[in-house]
Amino acid sequence: MQLDEHLFRRESARMVAALTRIFGVHNLSLAEDVVQDAFCRALEVWKVRGVPDNPSAWLMATAKNRALDVIRRERTATTFAPEVSRMFDSEWTLAPVVDEAFASEVIRDEQLRMMFSCCDPRLKEEVQIALVLNILCGFGAQEIAGAFLAGRAAVEKRIARGKQSLATSQRLFDLTDDDVADRLPVVQRALYLLFNEGYHSVSADTVVRTELCREAIRLTELLAADARTGTPATCALAALMCLHAARLPARITGAGELSALSDQDRSTWDASLIAHGLALLDESARGADVSVYHLEAAIAAAHVQAPSVDGTDWHTVVELYDRLLAIAPSPVVALNRAIAVAQRDGAASGIAELEAISDADRLAAYPFYRAAFAELELRRGRTAEAREHFEAAMRLARNAAERRFFQKRVGCCGSDQ
Amino acid sequence: MSDYIYLFRTTADARRAAMGSPELAQQSMQRWLAWLRDLETKGHVKDRGQPLENEGKVVRGSKKVITDGPFPEVKDLVAGFMIVQARDIAQAAELAKGCPILEGDGAVEVRPVMAMNF
């Protein structure tokens, strides 16, 4: 029996969800102890008897039994979850209640509630994301630090701070509350940032990056599948993630090299993920609401549906960027718009747009800003200027893959004479 | 080929640390399974042993005092055992070098099973 590569991470998140339902969110660390205990037992038993046919079910059953032990031992001394704890006094009701917490639809629901609790607007976004990754995705501080290029100590602090805040709450966020609508955008934004971290991350570790994207998609799908949280904006967010993720294997080659859109082998884009993303985008079109996610997803859709860079509907893309700039102005959006304008109207127009970006100073450290100038200068035959910009981009490169990428582009600018 | 017992010795802390996060748990499990698979394909495993509970009792001395196993404080806890077959003690010890318990500062005690030649 082969061990699934992410078994423990995935099951950790599900077990914590079930166990917090039983113990209460204020006993989160107790839930985590039980999970760790289940892992230790798994190691001892599996190495003697082999991996069971259904390792997930084995872990769940073990966690369930440990939970029963903990409750029987501590029910007089510890206050458990207010919603269910009165059922713990009698053996008649104890087992059914614990069983129910481990039912898959309950686990799904608890994960949603946990997601909303982690995305407390009183917590900084970086804390929200670290919490989501730790509790709902099972990543340890070390892995989170690796993905975010942050120090392990800093990440541990974020997680501790978040958990402290969770521990003081009486219960997990209630999805029947009226304030779901208020909290939902915060959750969407955290998932969006989580995805971007994976997709654009400066971390060179492609495995971690792919995993971050996959987890962001999984959680967003969880959000989309629930009637209370599956709004058009949620569907658009899920669509956007799928349409971007479909290009991920082509964007970073097996050797960890970045590949420009024009060089990507479109046949390696994930067709099923594209189809899924387009279906989600359709679904997001119910209602009149047009969110940032709708516009970004529509731009991504224009790219994945085009046969080539030249065959892309750049008129539509520019128009979408215009609308995006109107509701969410940012220099990076303006930069992408300028590149689209260059495709539509020619290199000179693109350069004019680049120069017109009002808050371009915020792009000073962003290597792809200089690279955009370089590409357009190269396109209109000014190789000396192009070389200079590429060299500047190279100096700003944030990792080895970016550096090699710009280095290669410098090589395309001809020799020095 | 002769029989040797591997006694896996570690501390409770090291044991938990090896499973300290899902990622670590995954790695520990994969290392153990890979090591065991390797020993097995080479025909060294005679008996994989039995999983042991963490806690138990200790019966000590002529007064036969029974105490709970205060294992968390024990520096040197027997975490498990298995029986391997090897050419000689040197090979048995060499094979134990791949055991993942060593990564967490644990130890493998290799003891020849006494041969009964009568």
Cβ neighbours of A396 (radius 10 Å): 17
Q: Which residue in chain B has the smallest CA separation from A3?
A: B30
Total count of domains within chain A: 1
* Domain with A58 in it: 1-102
Question: Which chain A residues are closer than 8 Å to B16 by Cβ?
Answer: 36, 40
Higher pLDDT, B114 or A220: A220
The sign one gets for the Cα dihedral A382, A388, A394, A396 is negative
Total count of domains within chain B: 1
In the predicted structure, residue A298 carries a pLDDT above the cut 80: yes
CA atoms of A314 and A320, how far apart (whole Å): 10
Would residue A32 count as lying in a domain? yes
Q: DSSP labels for chain B?
A: -EEEEEEEEE-HHHHHHTTSSHHHHHHHHHHHHHHHHHHHHTT-EEE------S--EEEETTTTEEEE--GGG-SSEEEEEEEEEESSHHHHHHHHTT-GGGGGT-EEEEEEPPP---
Please give the pLDDT value at position B11: 84
* Domain with B18 in it: 2-112
CA atoms of A249 and A273, how far apart (whole Å): 12
Q: CA separation (Å) from A128 to A88, A136, A165, A253, A415? A: 32, 11, 11, 31, 50
Please give the pLDDT value at position B71: 61
Please give the pLDDT value at position B88: 96
Please give the pLDDT value at position A204: 57
Mean pLDDT for the stretch of residues B87-109: 94
Please give the pLDDT value at position A245: 93
Question: Which residues of chain A have a Cβ shorter than 8 Å from any chain B Cβ?
Answer: 3, 5-9, 11-12, 36, 39-49, 51, 138-143
On whether the CB atoms of residues A236 and A278 are closer than 8 A, the answer is no
Please give the pLDDT value at position A29: 92
Mean pLDDT for the stretch of residues B85-97: 97
Q: For residue B4, what pLDDT band results from cuts at 50, 70 and 90?
A: very high
3-state SS class at A165: helix
CA atoms of A214 and A191, how far apart (whole Å): 11
Mean pLDDT for the stretch of residues A194-203: 79
* Minimum mean pLDDT range among A10-24, A270-284, A371-385, B6-20: B6-20
Higher pLDDT, A180 or A2: A180
* Minimum mean pLDDT range among A194-198, A295-299, B52-56: B52-56
Q: What is the mean pLDDT of chain A?
A: 90
> A165: which 2 tokens?
């805040």
Which among A116-120, A169-173, A194-198, B103-107 has the top mean pLDDT? A116-120
The 10s digit of each residue's pLDDT in A16-70 is 999 999 999 999 999 999 999 999 999 999 999 999 999 999 999 999 999 999 9
- Tally C-beta pairs within 8 A across A and B: 78
Would residue B8 count as lying in a domain? yes
Question: Which chain A residues are closer than 8 Å to B101 by Cβ?
Answer: none
Question: Rounded to two decimals, what is the model's pTM?
Answer: 0.85
Mean pLDDT for the stretch of residues A253-264: 77
CA atoms of A358 and A403, how far apart (whole Å): 27
The 10s digit of each residue's pLDDT in B52-70 is 887 788 898 999 999 887 5
Would residue B118 count as lying in a domain? no
CA atoms of A276 and A284, how far apart (whole Å): 12
Q: Where are the alpha helices (DSSP H) in A50-103?
A: 55-74, 91-101
**Cβ within 8 Å of residue A415, ≥6 positions away:** none
> A298: which 2 tokens?
């529509």
Q: What percent of chain B has pLDDT over 70?
A: 95
Q: What percent of chain A has pLDDT over 90?
A: 67
CA atoms of A9 and A207, how far apart (whole Å): 15
Residue with structure tokens 């639809």?
A105
Q: DSSP labels for A316-341?
A: HHHHHHHHHHHHS--HHHHHHHHHHH
Residue A47 to residue B48, Cβ atoms within 8 A: yes
Would residue B38 count as lying in a domain? yes
Whichever domain contains B51, its CATH number is: 3.30.70.1060
CA atoms of A275 and A237, how far apart (whole Å): 15
Would residue A86 count as lying in a domain? yes
Mean pLDDT for the stretch of residues A4-14: 92
CA atoms of A134 and A223, how far apart (whole Å): 18
Question: Which chain A residues are closer than 8 Å to B15 by Cβ?
Answer: 40
Please give the pLDDT value at position A4: 86
In the predicted structure, residue B50 carries a pLDDT above the cut 60: yes
In the predicted structure, residue A416 carries a pLDDT above the cut 60: no
Q: What angle do CA A119, A204, A212 make, to 5 degrees?
A: 30
Residue with structure tokens 């304008």?
A341
In the predicted structure, residue A305 carries a pLDDT above the cut 90: yes
Please give the pLDDT value at position B70: 58
Closest CB to A8 among B22, B33, B82: B22
Higher pLDDT, A276 or A82: A276
Would residue B71 count as lying in a domain? yes
Mean pLDDT for the stretch of residues A271-284: 96
The 10s digit of each residue's pLDDT in A130-185 is 999 999 999 888 888 877 767 889 999 999 999 999 988 878 888 887 889 889 99
Would residue A152 count as lying in a domain? no
Would residue B117 count as lying in a domain? no
Closest CB to A44 among B23, B36, B80: B80
B118/chain A closest Cα distance in angstroms: 32
Beta bridge partners of B81: B7
Burial class (CB in 10 A: 0-12, 13-18, 19+), A187: buried
Please give the pLDDT value at position A142: 83
Q: Encode burial over A302-311: b for 16+ CB neighbours within 10 A, e otherwise.
A: bbbebeeeee
Would residue A42 count as lying in a domain? yes
Q: What angle do CA A200, A203, A207 make, to 5 degrees?
A: 90
Which among A202-211, B10-19, B54-63, B71-80 has the top mean pLDDT? B54-63
ipTM of this complex prediction, to 2 decimal places: 0.90
Q: For residue A417, what pLDDT band results from cuts at 50, 70 and 90?
A: very low
Residue B19 to residue A45, Cβ atoms within 8 A: no
Residue A9 to residue B50, Cβ atoms within 8 A: no
In the predicted structure, residue A102 carries a pLDDT above the cut 90: yes
CA B31 to chain centre: 14
Would residue B47 count as lying in a domain? yes
**Cβ within 8 Å of residue A159, ≥6 positions away:** A127, A130, A131, A134, A141, A144
